Amino acid sequence: MHDFDDEILDCFLRNQRQLFPENVASTREEAEAFLEDCLAVVVTSADEVREYFEEEGLDTEGGDVLLASEVFDVGDGRYLIVEG
């Protein structure tokens, strides 16, 4: 089970439309359940985001992975990665 703290959940709630056409969650509880269901991960640096994309074989079409719609910048050095 993942441990998504309030900062992670709030970041996802604020920015979920960068990945989805409409909101998939409206409360922290809904956000946590959704993130657990899609096996979202939290990493602690931009380098870890890049490593994650490489390990998973995800294509960024030559762009910066930090700009991918699946990557949410929490604002405290951490990133939430959600595969939609």
The predicted-structure confidence for 11-39, as pLDDT tens digits, reads as follows 999 999 999 999 999 999 999 999 999 99
Sheet (strand 79-81) strand order: 41-43, 79-81, 71-73
- Cβ(80)–Cβ(8) below 8 Å: yes
- Cβ(24)–Cβ(16) below 8 Å: yes
pTM attached to this predicted model: 0.91
Per the DSSP assignment, residues forming a β-bridge with 79 are: 43, 73
Q: For residue 24, what are the contacts with CB-CB under 8 A and spacing of at least 6?
A: 16, 30, 34
pLDDT for res 1: 46
